[in-house]
Amino acid sequence: MEETPHLSELERDCLDRYLSVLQDELGDELVAVWLFGSGARGDAWWSGMPIRSDVDVLVVTGSPLAEERREELVNATYPFFLESGRQIGPQFRTERELEADPPTPFLQNVHRDRVLLFSR
């Protein structure tokens, strides 16, 4: 995992544990995980705000995940939100979707800011 200096120690720990959940649940299907957005850029809302920026992660898989499977993986983030006060917000894309030419605006933003958290 690359450094994530814009996250607190507790947030990094929760993110590490969520990565373990992804690895356990997806196994060889998991290709990569990238932090992107305000957490990667370092411009997340400060901790004194009544609401906090989420921690955006792009979960890259070898093939599409069923909606039920994606929902389970999103639900797995809730204990980490309760612990850290920051919601991990996974987005799911396949390797093939990342190869879109031209890249979608979403993928352009991800590529600009991304921090590699996991790669097989």
pLDDT in tens, 94-109: 999 998 888 889 999 8
Give pLDDT tens digits for 66-119: 999 999 999 999 999 999 888 999 999 999 999 888 888 999 989 888 999 999
Q: What share of the chain is helix, strand, coil (3-state, %, to 5)?
A: 45, 20, 35
**Does the pLDDT at position 2 exceed 70?**
no
Q: What pLDDT does residue 49 have?
A: 52
Question: Which of 38, 19, 39 shows the shortest CA–CA distance to 30?
Answer: 19
CATH number of 9-44+52-119: 3.30.460.10
Question: Mind listing the pLDDT tens digit for each residue in 25-47?
Answer: 999 999 999 999 877 776 655 55
In angstroms, the CA 11 to CA 28 distance is 26
Query: Got the DSSP string for 59-84?
Result: EEESSPPPHHHHHHHHHTTHHHHHHH
